[in-house]
Amino acid sequence: MLDHRLDDELELLRSTVREFANDVVAPVIGDYYERHAFPYPIVREMGKMGLFGLPFPEEYGGMGGDYLALGIALEELARVDSSVAITLEAAVSLGAMPIYKFGTESQKQQWLPKLCSGEMLGAFGLTEPDGGSDAGATRTTARRDEATGEWVINGSKCFITNSGTDITGLVTVTAVTGTKPDGGKEISTIIVPSGTPGMTVAPSYSKVGWNASDTHELSFDDCRVPLENLLGAQGRGYAQFLGILDEGRIAIAALATGLAQGCVDESVRYAGERKAFGRPIGANQAIAFKLADMELRAHTSRLAWRHAASRMVHGESFKQEAALAKLYTSEAAVDNAREATQIHGGYGFMNEYAVARFWRDCKILEIGEGTSEVQRMLIARGLGVGETLAAR
């Protein structure tokens, strides 16, 4: 018989992060959000709690947990604020995880302890202005300069989270390093430390949401790094990042679940306090049914991401489950944010209310880490239809 309950250790993690989110994040995050300011004090406290090291071994400064533990932390943070949650998700899933999975022992020893402590943030340099969902359309190049023993990188990346903070330590960059025997692009991954000459961090984007997170465009103009900064085998960069994205979709699904549940929490509270025509609005069936549907979406989302995470941590295939979870939870978050705003009425349009922040934050969940269209494509392929069937 399946048992979906958390063990004592994970339950303690969940309650600890929820308390932190409610007591430390919630009272101040609105101010950071409106100022478009990165919440360094909150991130510092998250580092002290060990959240940035959750899925990494203790030998590298981690907590010895797994992706299920990371997802639980992300969900609890996102119930209060998604900017803080995405900072953690990108730092762990996209920044540190490639170093852990594909790095040499020397690279792991050099970077992981600071990444796990939160003293340093890593970023994931994949998306390009003309690429979007087509990561294989990479135009950034890296050529070997054997005379100096360096990679020379030229190109640009866009929408890169955690790439321009005061504590950003590195960006892992995908770049074309040659041509494969079949004529296709040979894409490799290279570690570029922050502050490397030739790498320019553009000013922060003016975003619709996630306003307390850090996002920039990066450009590379004859940016030189040592040849030993190659991450993993040359020519394996595209495959490496496809694997990282599969895992990252579980993390985004957990974050989306948190936002969906936060919408329920705020709406239930408001529906009990707000009165119209002499009684709480929650007494009206129209509102009560909205809340029931919202809870259904949040509950189902939780089952979806935890199922995908469980398969992953047990070494089972999870690509299909990750795509299902990411697709369902992101759309559930958008639906719940819309309904929460409606329940709050005019107050839902005011930034001082959390649901206004949720509404601004939810849409990107249907875009980042693979759009909803990409997820449907992956799911269809897993069923043996769509492009796979057409190619037969």
DSSP SS3 for 143: strand
Helix (H) or strand (E) holding 252: helix 237-273
Q: How buried is residue 47: exposed, middle or buried, by Cβ count under 10 Å (0-12/13-18/19+)?
A: buried
Instruction: Tokens for 241, please give them.
Output: 């990042």
Give Cβ neighbours of residue 164 (< 8 Å, ≥ 6 apart). 201, 204, 214, 216
Residues acting as catalytic residues = 369
Hey, what are 41's tokens? 């004090």
Pair of tokens at residue 20:
């932190």
For tokens 């063990």, what's the residue?
7
Question: Which amino acid, one-letter code, is at 33?
Answer: Y
Q: If you write DSSP's letter for every residue of 301-326 in order, what string do you get?
A: HHHHHHHHHHHHHTT---HHHHHHHH
CB 270 within 8 A of CB 339: no
Q: Which of 65, 88, 74 is nearest to 18 (CA)?
A: 74
Assign residue 277 a region: left if phi > 0, alpha if psi is -120 to 50, beta otherwise?
left
How many alpha carbons lie under 13 Å from residue 272 in its C-beta half-sphere? 5
Residue 293's Cα: distance from chain center in Å? 26
Phi, psi angles (nearest 5°) of residue 309: -65, -40
Looking at residue 339, its amino acid is E
Beta carbons of 171 and 125 less than 8 angstroms apart: yes
Q: Identify whether the C-beta of residue 149 lies closer than 8 Å to the C-beta of residue 226.
A: yes
Nearest C-alpha neighbor of 328 from the set 353, 301, 291: 301
Q: How far is residue 251's CA from residue 141's CA, in Å, rounded to a whole number?
A: 29
